[in-house]
Chains A and B, each alone.
Chain A
Amino acid sequence: MSSFISNTHADVESMLKVIGAHSIDDLFADIKPRHAPKSFNIPSGRSEFEVMEHLYRVAAHNAVHLTSFLGAGYYDHYVPAAVNALASRSEFYTAYTPYQPECSQGTLQALFEYQSLICALTDMNIANASLYDGGTALYEAMMMAIRITGKKKIVMDGGVSPIYRTIIRSYTSNLDIEFQETPVVHGRSDREQIVKILDNKTGAIILQNPNFFGAIDYHQDIVDLAHAQGALVIESVYPISLGLLKTPGEVGVDIATGEGQSLGLPLNFGGPYLGFMATRKEYVRKMPGRIVGETTDTQGRRCFVNTLQVREQHIRREKANSNICTNVALCAIQAAIYMSLLGRKGLKDLATVIFQKAEFARQELGKIKGVEVKRSSPTFNEFTVCLPVPAIEVIAKMAKKGFAAGFPLVRYYPGMDNYLLVAVTEKRTREEIVAFKEALEEVLCS
């Protein structure tokens, strides 16, 4: 018996008896063997020095110096030094989600600013204080739409990130929700299929702009169609693109979500990332997550509170809007700092530079013999190319030349073996893009 677990064998036996399980294994029978640890025999301790050496050796396997053209929802943006300098102040850095929130006026104010910035970015009325990441935010938006409409049929566009769709399917695997997926045709949502499937039993349609293939698709017509049937429209957006593209608010979307990593957070494997969510004022009581509000104290001074808390599980228990009772406060604060540094004009300039560089890369790659650049839809920062050979082979060869060439679409779309998704950020220089094109040319000709 571990010294960290204070239950004796007798305790365990009596507890098992109460719940009617014969053994510990019986208790965990629902966990599939492939998910269970192979063994609980953990090796004996090592010194700090040995552990550090080991971790350095493991970390050295990462390719950290590649010039990145890899995106698929998570992008290699520059993070200004001020973001980390401010966010790592101990007042922010050491505070977790405030449990006695009104004592943490600074944290609440920072989150209030974050919410206000997300509203300005998306053109929506109300934002929450953040969710875990873009995928879980999209799942929460779907559950919110079901609460609002009382309808459990969900239409999901094939242009939504397959990573997000996997998250949603996993979260809902034990729920009674009817999913219908519609394909992407020539880079855009398949209107014909959507018209057929979207009926008055539909609670929501889930869309993404730009879609996973990089295509810009405004969905105005689909918004009108959905609203005519009493369904809500949920759209996942790439926040940086909103400096140039139409916002969810402009298009009439009901719930906007997205991955906030591009707003001043570094790329990493597994997070923490940042899910943002914004909606119309009339739906705020159905929104999950913390919401910070501005008010005045008994002496009339401006102050901040966690508001509309009766939506949440510490008050409403099993009837809460969501079992989300936290937020990624530090990530949200980093995003607020990033957006404040950029400002409205800065974001527009950044989006313009990214769009121009991506267009340049698109033209350059199109010059390579045997490479077909998909041109059926306009794109923003990311685009699809069809190679003459499997993309996975090309990616391996490009890594040896110092490039992360992109995302192989076959990972999620069977049959698209030769398709590569290429992303460009403001960090990529003209020289790097030309060198990328030349390296790809060499790889394909060899």
Chain B
Amino acid sequence: MSEDFISPDIHHERISHKSQESAHTGLSTKVIWKVFWILLAVTVFEVGISFTSIPKGILLYVFIGLTIFKAYYIIFFFMHMKFEQAALKFSILLPFVLIVYLIFIAIYEGIAIGLVNY
């Protein structure tokens, strides 16, 4: 077994060269500022449309959509998720399917208790 196979320092795991390259090239300062302007523009847009007379029911879904849009940019660019391995991506993101499920059952339950009216 060659020496470079198992590093003598267990804290210094072996990482393939690919990720280090993308760590340097994936996020340029230009991209960082671009993401910043996107996030700022979406936030200003959200505050702006909250004052219009668009029905609240439609507005709710617009806000949820834009929030997920912003979350995508924060997670995938600022938190570097876009440049990670697919295995890591899915390990982190898939559990949130459970959260989506919880949203549905909890909101449904909340409405139902409200209708019982005790």
- A and B co-occur in one complex: no
